[in-house]
Amino acid sequence: MTDPTRTATPPPAPARDTAFIKPMCYGFFLVFGIGSLVTAWFLLWEPYTRWRAAQAWKPIPCRILVSEITSHTELTDNGRSVEKYGVNVRYAFDWAGTTRESDTIAITGFRASSSTNRSSYEPVVARYPAGASATCWVNSEDPGQSALDTSFQTTHFAIGVVMSAVFLGAAFLFLVVGRRFG
């Protein structure tokens, strides 16, 4: 005889197959871990080694030949045209009796970039006006390598640290989740 005050217990929920979660999390750990290493290489280690090498370069006088903001039009994915800007600074210096030219502004930081923000390049053109004298830094072992600025760009370094930390944090999150399902 059944008791009318008692409710029937629901049937147990079917067991979920969670065997795929652990290898999936370890796979994501591997992908994000590699992403962290690649990000650290390009945004931290590579600029740091360039900066360290440039500390031995020789300062010599140079003359700014060209200093201008360049522009070109690009088509976006949806077919719209967008005006992009960049900077062109060329300078000349004498090395071992030969006049050499270069266009490398900074030894670290992002290179050969273009942007839709023209005003971001105005300080560079103002700092290195055409016809002005400046100091450039030359690699005495390879005078083809020179730059107007050999300082370390901490803003770009900070971006690299943050991006590497995000990738590394995601990697360890997947590692912890994967171990929980182990």
Q: pLDDT by residue for the chain (182 residues), tens digit each? A: 566 666 777 777 665 666 777 788 788 888 888 888 887 887 778 888 888 999 999 999 999 999 999 999 988 888 899 999 989 999 999 999 999 999 999 887 555 567 788 888 899 999 999 999 999 999 999 999 999 998 877 766 777 788 888 888 888 887 887 777 75
Same domain, yes or no, for 48 and 121?
A: no
Provide DSSP, 100-155: EEE---BSSS--S--BS-GGGTHHHHHHS-TT-EEEEEE-TT-TT-EESB----HH
Asked whether residue 138 is domain-assigned, the answer is yes
Same domain, yes or no, for 120 and 155?
A: no
Asked whether residue 1 is domain-assigned, the answer is no
Same domain, yes or no, for 73 and 133?
A: yes
What token pair was written down for 171?
């990697």
**pTM score of the predicted model:** 0.66
Same domain, yes or no, for 96 and 140?
A: yes
Same domain, yes or no, for 79 and 139?
A: yes
Same domain, yes or no, for 63 and 49?
A: no
Which amino acid type is present at position 29?
Answer: F
> Packing angle between helix 46-54 and helix 154-180, nearest 10 degrees?
150
Asked whether residue 101 is domain-assigned, the answer is yes
Nearest-angstrom CA–CA distance, 137 and 6: 88
Asked whether residue 5 is domain-assigned, the answer is no
Asked whether residue 3 is domain-assigned, the answer is no
Asked whether residue 162 is domain-assigned, the answer is yes
DSSP state of 92: E
| Structural domain containing residue 81 | 58-148
pLDDT of residue 4: 64
Same domain, yes or no, for 71 and 124?
A: yes
Domain count, the chain: 2
Same domain, yes or no, for 96 and 162?
A: no
Same domain, yes or no, for 67 and 144?
A: yes
pLDDT of residue 109: 57
Q: What is the dihedral of CA 169, 170, 174, 176, to 10 degrees?
A: 20
